[in-house]
Amino acid sequence: MKFFVDTADLDEIKELQQTGLIDGVTTNPSLVAQSGRNFIELIGEICEIIDGPVSAEVAATDYETMLKEGRKLAAIAKNIAVKVPLTPDGLRVCKALSDDGIMVNVTLCFSAAQALLAAKAGATFISPFVGRLDDLSQDGLALIEDIVEIYENYPNITTEVLVASIRSPNHIIESAKMGAHVATIPPKVIRQLYRHPLTDKGLADFVADWQKTGQSILDAA
């Protein structure tokens, strides 16, 4: 499973990129607004840090303007994935851009039927929102399972399932078990993946036992 970090915070992106565990970045208008930065400049800087796909979302909702915005965003860098909403006009834009070899991330997916349409439109990524479905007492992970199963039935579908609106490590683990291709994860949840109380306890025990030896690996002959 590929890990994308879901943020527009440059400091967070730089820090996580240094781990070697991040494969891409997703942004959205809300995250960009939180940054307070110029949108085009910010996306360009992110693309300089990250080699993998960087999702940048259009702001318009009509076909003509979305298409123009999508082409402008795609011109920022080769690793831009233009993010469009799962609407009739959004899917038209997806088809037009994907036909030109531009990566497209179709976002705000809440049903398997929508995911099938996005695949037919040539989407590079489909972004089902598991957390937002869970908020409505619906099973977000069941949607991931349905989409993966449908896509696997058709070898000609190359669209990758990008699990979005992740709220906990469990969303990631369960999605990975189902075969989802990508998880886009808030920085705080990425850091939660490291943690386990037995890891902390075991390390503390090892450090204490090593200190008792009075040795130093670096000073050893």
Quick one: pLDDT at residue 221?
A: 75
The pLDDT score that the predictor gives to residue 19 is: 95
pLDDT bracket for residue 77 (50, 70, 90): very high
Are the C-beta atoms of residues 103 and 81 closer than 8 Å to each other? yes
Q: Are 104 and 89 in contact (CB under 8 A)?
A: no
User: What's the fold here for domain 2-195?
Assistant: TIM Barrel (3.20.20)
CB 130 within 8 A of CB 144: yes
Mean pLDDT of the chain: 96
Q: How far apart are CA 144 and CA 162, in angstroms?
A: 9
Q: Which pLDDT value is given to residue 6? A: 97
Looking at residues 29-54, what average pLDDT do you find?
Answer: 94
Q: What is the pTM of this model?
A: 0.94
pLDDT (average), residues 37-50: 95
pLDDT per residue as tens digits for the range 148-184: 999 999 999 999 999 999 999 999 999 999 999 999 9
Which distant-in-sequence residues (6+ apart) come within 8 Å of 79 by Cβ? 24, 47, 50, 51, 52, 53, 54, 103
d(CA 81, CA 64): 18
Give φ, ψ of 38 to 5 degrees. -65, 125
pLDDT grade for 29, boundaries at 50, 70 and 90 = confident
Count of Cβ atoms closer than 10 Å to residue 23 Cβ: 17
Of the candidates 82, 7, 102, the residue with the CA atom closest to the CA atom of residue 49: 7
**Average pLDDT value for residue range 103-113:** 98
Q: Tell me what pLDDT residue 208 has.
A: 96
- Check if the beta carbon of residue 162 is closer than 8 Å to that of residue 125: yes
Of the residues 83, 120, 201, 212, only one is catalytic, namely 83
SS3 114: helix
Can you give the residue ranges of every domain in the chain? 2-195
* Average pLDDT score over residue span 29-57: 94
Instruction: Write the CB contacts of 175 (distance below 8 Å, at least 6 apart in sequence).
Output: 1, 130, 141, 144, 161, 163, 183
Residue 219 or residue 120, greater confidence? 120
Mean pLDDT in residue range 126-148: 97
pLDDT reported for residue 113: 98
Q: Is 95 an annotated catalytic residue?
A: no
Confidence band, pLDDT 50/70/90 cuts, at residue 220: confident
Who's near 77: CB < 8 A, 6+ residues apart? 43, 44, 47, 48, 54
